[in-house]
């Protein structure tokens, strides 16, 4: 996941559309992955979790219908079980998710996106 911006998105999601629009307006190239067709693997979720400042709560959509329907009790689950469940049921993930492997942005967070875009531009300038 390092150096390239990966954008986990779902077209029906308003925050995803706003983020995609911002990325396009700012000419930021990303690897776009449809969250439900190409969900993050357990290993990818573990890497995202390592970048998170709020732990699993930053990734888990606790207000989602999927979370309610599954009756998940986060406190009673092993992390490996929870990550597998999230990978198998991407509706449990907050979205969009954008990462360069060093920083994580979840939701439409313009300051976070700007930081990621600047970092990517610096890396490209160093290589050129």
Tell me the pLDDT tens digit for each residue of 14-26. 999 999 999 999 9
- Residues 113 and 63: their CA atoms lie apart, in Å, by 24
| The residue count for the chain | 128
pTM above threshold 0.75:
yes
- Residue 117, sorted as left (phi over 0), alpha (psi -120 to 50) or beta, turns out to be alpha
91, burial (CB in 10 Å: exposed 0-12, middle 13-18, buried 19+): middle
User: 6-127, what's its fold?
Assistant: Glutaredoxin (3.40.30)
Q: With a cut of 90, say whether residue 47 has pLDDT above it.
A: yes
For the chain, the structural domain boundaries read 6-127
Q: List pLDDT tens digits, range 91-122.
A: 999 999 999 999 999 999 999 999 998 888 77
Question: Which pLDDT band holds residue 127 (cuts at 50, 70, 90)?
Answer: low
């Amino acid at each position: 996941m390092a150096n390239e911006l990966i954008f986990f998105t779902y077209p029906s999601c308003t925050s995803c559309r706003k983020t995609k629009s911002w990325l396009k307006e700012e000419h930021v190239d990303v690897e776009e992955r449809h969250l439900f067709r190409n969900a993050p693997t357990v290993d990818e979720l573990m890497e995202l979790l390592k970048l998170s400042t709020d732990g699993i709560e930053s990734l888990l959509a606790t207000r989602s219908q999927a979370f309610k329907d599954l009756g998940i009790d986060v406190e009673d689950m092993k992390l490996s079980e929870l990550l597998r469940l999230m990978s198998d049921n991407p509706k449990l993930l907050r979205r969009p998710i954008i990462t360069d492997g060093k920083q994580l942005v979840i939701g439409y967070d313009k300051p976070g996106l700007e930081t990621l875009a600047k970092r990517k531009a610096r890396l490209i300038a160093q290589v050129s």
